[in-house]
């Protein structure tokens, strides 16, 4: 189960606690935009240079695909920050629809890093036709992984997202996250082909995100 869990970190205060928890996780997402809400850019290296066997994903979330009030970092500046963090991560995650996606990917490839391209919809799960368009747009960027995270408002929307997961994970590596659903529903994509699911330590970065304590209780059988 370890490789199916990605721990999301948003604060330097989480780092000490995270070092222990990350021994049980295959992935670690560093939300650089959340760090920058609390710390000056000069302190960024200290925030993200933790040593762990988990694969580290660095992302500076675009404010247009943020669950709440995201930092409105100019795209040129966001690209500059992406380049700065490449030394400290294994993957970068950049939005499919963002103008800097191609430049971020180019820089990542030049640094020998891998790429996740992502799509977030905090309002709804769109139709399968729209999800297919998102998938095709993602594939054109030639990433290692395509991530799709959408809010689920009904059983029909959940079925649409699961149908997408099952069919398209056979064609390319996917991470699919249904937001705003119960614990069990959030895990279903893993069994249909999604690589992993995101969990929180102290701060949830998406509606319905599973906490580490829930993972310990229900999946790892520890307290």
Per-residue pLDDT tens over the stretch 11-40: 766 677 777 788 888 999 999 998 888 887
Give yes or no for residue 150 having a pLDDT over 50: yes
Q: What is the pTM of this model?
A: 0.90
Mean pLDDT taken over the chain: 89
Q: Which of 56, 113, 120, 151 is catalytic?
A: 120
Does residue 49 carry a pLDDT above 90? no
Determine whether 120 is an active site residue.
Answer: yes
pLDDT over 70 (residue 118): yes
Catalytic residue among 69, 147, 171, 213: 147
In 10-102 the beta strands, taken as DSSP E runs, fall at 27-31, 55-59, 91-95
Task: Give backbone dihedrals phi and psi of 200, rounded to 5 degrees, phi first.
Answer: -100, 155
Q: How many CB atoms lie within 10 A of CB 23?
A: 11
How many other C-beta atoms lie within 10 A of the C-beta of residue 220?
13
Q: Using one digit for the tens of pLDDT, what is the confidence trace for 159-214?
A: 999 999 999 999 999 999 999 988 889 899 999 999 999 987 766 666 666 766 66
Q: 114-121 and 145-151 as β-strands: parallel, antiparallel, unpaired?
A: parallel
Q: Is 124 exposed, middle or buried (0-12, 13-18, 19+ CB in 10 A)?
A: middle
Residue 8: CB atoms within 10 Å: 25
Q: Does 147 qualify as catalytic in the annotation?
A: yes
Residues 6+ apart with CB under 8 A from 19: 50, 52
Give the pLDDT score at 207.
63
């Amino acid at each position: 189960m370890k490789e199916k869990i990605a721990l999301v970190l948003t604060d330097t205060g989480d780092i000490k606690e995270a070092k222990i928890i990350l021994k049980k996780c295959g992935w670690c997402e560093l939300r650089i935009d959340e760090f920058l809400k609390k710390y000056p850019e000069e302190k960024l290296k200290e925030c993200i240079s933790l040593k762990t066997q988990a694969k580290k994903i660095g992302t500076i979330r675009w404010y247009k695909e943020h669950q709440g009030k995201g930092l409105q970092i100019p795209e040129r500046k966001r690209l500059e920050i992406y380049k700065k963090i490449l030394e400290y991560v294994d993957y970068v995650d950049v939005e499919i629809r963002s103008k800097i996606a191609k430049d971020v990917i180019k820089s990542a490839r030049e640094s020998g890093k891998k790429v996740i391209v992502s799509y977030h919809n905090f309002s709804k799960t769109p139709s399968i036709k729209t999800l297919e368009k998102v998938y095709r747009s993602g594939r054109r960027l030639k990433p290692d992984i395509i991530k799709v995270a959408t809010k689920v408002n009904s059983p029909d929307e959940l079925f649409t997202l699961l149908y997408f997961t099952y069919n398209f994970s056979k064609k390319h590596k996917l991470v699919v996250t249904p937001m705003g659903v119960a614990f069990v529903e959030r895990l279903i994509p893993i069994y249909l082909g999604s690589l992993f699911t995101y969990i929180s330590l102290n701060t949830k970065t998406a509606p319905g995100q599973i906490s580490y304590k829930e993972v310990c209780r229900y999946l790892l059988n520890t307290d």
